[in-house]
Amino acid sequence: GAVVSQHPSWVICKSGTSVKIECRSLDFQATTMFWYRQFPKQSLMLMATSNEGSKATYEQGVEKDKFLINHASLTLSTLTVTSAHPEDSSFYICSATRGGDEQFFGPGTRLTVL
């Protein structure tokens, strides 16, 4: 149990376009979902925390108008990178909790912006 999926697993897009990444909890209801970004050879950096039906809480330095997060249901959260630029190229990972402290991670999405 506690499986989290992410789609797509990788995406290449042109500079200036928007990209949507989906995060789904497949066999449980996720009370909270987290979005992380990871650059090569670095640790995971928390971007935002989202709870179903409410606005996401963004970490300092993360532009909420650029990284749109929607948590429409207890099993789905989406991250939209708007007007993507090459510096947004990164590995984006979501995680979900089911009420406790353990987080269940999605497989990640590799975004490359040309």
- Contacts with another protein by CB under 8 A lie at 32, 34, 42-46, 49, 91, 93, 97, 100-103, 105-108, 110
| Residue among 63 and 102 whose Cβ is closer to another protein | 102
Contacts of 78 (CB under 8 A, 6+ apart): 20, 21, 22, 23, 69, 70, 71, 72
Q: From the CB of 97, what's the least distance to another protein, in Å?
A: 6
On whether the CB atoms of residues 22 and 112 are closer than 8 A, the answer is: no
Distance of CA 72 to the CA centre of its chain: 14
CA distance 7 to 11: 9
CA distance 73 to 13: 27
| Residue among 16 and 107 whose Cβ is closer to another protein | 107
Q: From the CB of 108, what's the least distance to another protein, in Å?
A: 5
| Residue among 46 and 82 whose Cβ is closer to another protein | 46
- Measured between alpha carbons, how far apart are the two ends of the chain, in Å? 37
Q: From the CB of 110, what's the least distance to another protein, in Å?
A: 7
| Residue among 34 and 84 whose Cβ is closer to another protein | 34
Q: From the CB of 105, what's the least distance to another protein, in Å?
A: 4
